[in-house]
C-alpha cells in the first residue's frame, strides 16, 4: 500500500467525523429550539394557572367559636333556604320530565309494535 493511501484514508475519516459532528450539532440545535418553544408554552400555562389559583384562593379559616351567634344562625337559615329552593327546583324538573314521558305521542313508534 503506498504511503499516500494512508493520507487519503485519514482525510476521509476526518471528513466523515466532521460531517457526523455537524449532523449531530444541527440535530441538537433543532431539539434545543423545540425545547425552548415548549418551555415558553409551559411558562404561559403556568402563568394562567397561577392567575386561576389566585382567583380560587379561599378565605382563611375562622373558627365558628369566634363568630357572632346571630351571624351563624342567619348563615345556617340561609343555607337551609338555599337547599330547599334547589330541592324544589330538582323536584319540578323531575315532574316536568315525568309529564313529558306520560304525555308522549306514541304514534311515531307504531312500527315497533307491528309483527312481521
> Does residue 45 lie in a domain region?
no
Q: Has residue 10 been placed in a domain?
A: yes
- pTM of structure: 0.43
SS (H, E, C) the chain: CCHHHHHHHHHHHHHHHHHHHHHHHHHHHHHHHHHHHHHHHHHHHHHHHHHHHHHHCCCCCCCHHHCCHHHHHHHHHHHHHHHHHHHHHHHHHHHHHHHHHHCCCCHHHHHHCCCC
pLDDT, one tens digit for every residue, the chain (116 residues): 888 899 999 999 999 999 999 999 999 999 999 999 999 999 999 999 999 998 888 888 878 788 888 998 999 999 999 999 999 999 999 999 888 877 767 788 788 888 76
Q: Is residue 32 part of a domain?
A: yes
Look at residue 60 and tell me if it is in a domain: no
Taking only Cα atoms into account, the Rg of the chain, rounded to an integer number of angstroms, comes to 38
How many domains, the chain? 2
Residue 109 resides in a domain = no
- Domain extent for 95: 68-101
Do the domain assignments include residue 113?
no
Q: Is residue 20 part of a domain?
A: yes
Amino acid at each position: 500500500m503506498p504511503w499516500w493511501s494512508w493520507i487519503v484514508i485519514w482525510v476521509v475519516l476526518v471528513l466523515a467525523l466532521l460531517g457526523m459532528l455537524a449532523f449531530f450539532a444541527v440535530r441538537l440545535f433543532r431539539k434545543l429550539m423545540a425545547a425552548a418553544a415548549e418551555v415558553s408554552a409551559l411558562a404561559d400555562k403556568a402563568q394562567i394557572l397561577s392567575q386561576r389559583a389566585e382567583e380560587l384562593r379561599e378565605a382563611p379559616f375562622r373558627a365558628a367559636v369566634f363568630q357572632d351567634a346571630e351571624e351563624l344562625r342567619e348563615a345556617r337559615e340561609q343555607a337551609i333556604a338555599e337547599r330547599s329552593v334547589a330541592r324544589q327546583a330538582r323536584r319540578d324538573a323531575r315532574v316536568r320530565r315525568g309529564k313529558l314521558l306520560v304525555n308522549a305521542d306514541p304514534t311515531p313508534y307504531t312500527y315497533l309494535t307491528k309483527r312481521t
